[in-house]
Amino acid sequence: MALKSLKKKRRIQIVAVAAVALTLSTALIGYAMKDGINFFRSPSEVAEAPPSPTELFRIGGLVEEGSLERGVGEQIRFRVTDGGATIPVTFTGVLPDLFEENQGMVGTGRLVNGVFEATEILAKHDETYMPKEVVDALKEQGVYQEPETGS
């Protein structure tokens, strides 16, 4: 009888230790990822509910025509739009080769005093590609046009 009781006790201890280890590892993973998750927002969403200056997020849309300004050094200013709202963007660095006006882009950064300060800019990588989030935001505003196929 004592042997069965000891086995049962050992099993309960193993299950309890496994549950604690699982809970602890889940908590540590969540804590480690809290700064690594960047939420996507369209310019309209940013205009409606501006995030705090400490929140890192991604914004995407079309680079507004006539808004691209190159400053001193690597400072670049432009506006990103989804047809419903326009957000000014600043970026210091080298833009991707395919970055141009009226083309899709996604930027990562923070909104400070109404200006999106980008730390990273991504542009489309071929003539037909645009990030899914950007396409969805543009369709929601009714300004997305399907790319022409060369057949």
In this structure, the answer to whether residues 10 and 33 fall within a common structural domain is yes
Structural domain of residue 51, as residue ranges? Answer: 39-141
Q: Has residue 63 got a pLDDT over 70?
A: yes
Higher pLDDT, 45 or 136: 45
Residue-wise pLDDT for 106-127, tens only, equals 999 999 999 999 999 988 655 5
* 44 in Cβ contact with 85 (< 8 Å): yes
In this structure, the answer to whether residues 31 and 84 fall within a common structural domain is no
In this structure, the answer to whether residues 30 and 80 fall within a common structural domain is no
| Domain harbouring 49, CATH code | 2.40.50.140
Count of domains observed in the chain: 2
Judge whether 149 lies within some domain: no
Judge whether 146 lies within some domain: no
The dihedral formed by the CA atoms of 63, 70, 96 and 88, expressed in degrees to the nearest 10: -40
In this structure, the answer to whether residues 25 and 57 fall within a common structural domain is no
Out of 51-60, 68-77, 83-92, 138-147, which region has the weakest mean confidence (pLDDT)?
Answer: 138-147
Span 71-77, mean pLDDT? 82
How many whole angstroms separate alpha carbon 82 and alpha carbon 67? 14
Amino acid 122: pLDDT: 87
Give the residues across from 79 on adjacent strands. 88
Judge whether 147 lies within some domain: no
In this structure, the answer to whether residues 75 and 101 fall within a common structural domain is yes
Of 40, 118, 136, the C-alpha closest to 78 is 118
